[in-house]
């Protein structure tokens, strides 16, 4: 399989677009019908190539994103995923399952003191068991909502 970085695919799409435009302009100046038809056919083929390059760029981006989540860059330590490069920043398990890298807030930030809240999807994850001193239902003074 041809391996191409996204910048190269974009360059190919841009170049085919520029060539198509030049051929179109050339076709407008020609008087010979057969040559005009050939230029139109070439222009159509270039448009198709531009579309294919764009689709390959999109597919490449999606595959790179999927591969990123299957790499050894992440580790699971109950109850969160962690990026090994930032091992002190927990990631939301719900978002991670959807291939989204979303950080969890600090303990008790807009939730009970024994929970962390996802900064993207708002999911709350219990980090340690409730005690009367950290349970909002037991202590209304801790409710910071």
- Asked if pLDDT for residue 56 goes beyond 50, the answer is yes
Q: Which of residues 125 and 64 earns the better pLDDT score? A: 125
Q: Which two tokens stand for residue 81?
A: 């995923």
Cβ atoms < 10 Å from Cβ of 116: 23
Question: Quick one: pLDDT band at residue 125, thresholds 50, 70, 90?
Answer: very high
Residue 67: alpha-carbon gap to chain centroid: 12
Say which residues have a Cβ less than 8 Å from residue 72's Cβ, sequence separation at least 6: 84
Q: Which two tokens stand for residue 55?
A: 């689709």
Q: What is the pLDDT of residue 46?
A: 87
Average pLDDT, the chain: 81
Overall average pLDDT of the 50-79 stretch? 81
Task: Evaluate if pTM is beyond 0.95.
Answer: no
């Amino acid at each position: 399989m041809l391996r191409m970085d996204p910048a190269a695919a974009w360059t190919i799409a841009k170049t085919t677009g520029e060539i198509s435009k030049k051929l179109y302009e050339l076709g407008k100046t020609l008087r010979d019908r057969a040559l005009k038809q050939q230029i139109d056919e070439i222009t159509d083929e270039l448009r198709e190539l531009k579309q294919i390059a764009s689709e390959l760029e999109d597919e490449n981006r999606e595959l790179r994103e999927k591969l990123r989540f299957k790499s050894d860059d992440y580790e699971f330590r109950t109850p969160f995923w962690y990026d090994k490069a930032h091992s002190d920043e927990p990631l939301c398990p719900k978002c991670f399952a959807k291939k989204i890298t979303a950080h969890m807030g600090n303990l008790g930030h807009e939730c009970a003191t024994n929970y962390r809240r996802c900064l993207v999807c708002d999911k709350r994850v219990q980090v340690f068991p409730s005690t009367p001193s950290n349970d909002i239902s037991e202590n209304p003074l801790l409710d910071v909502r």
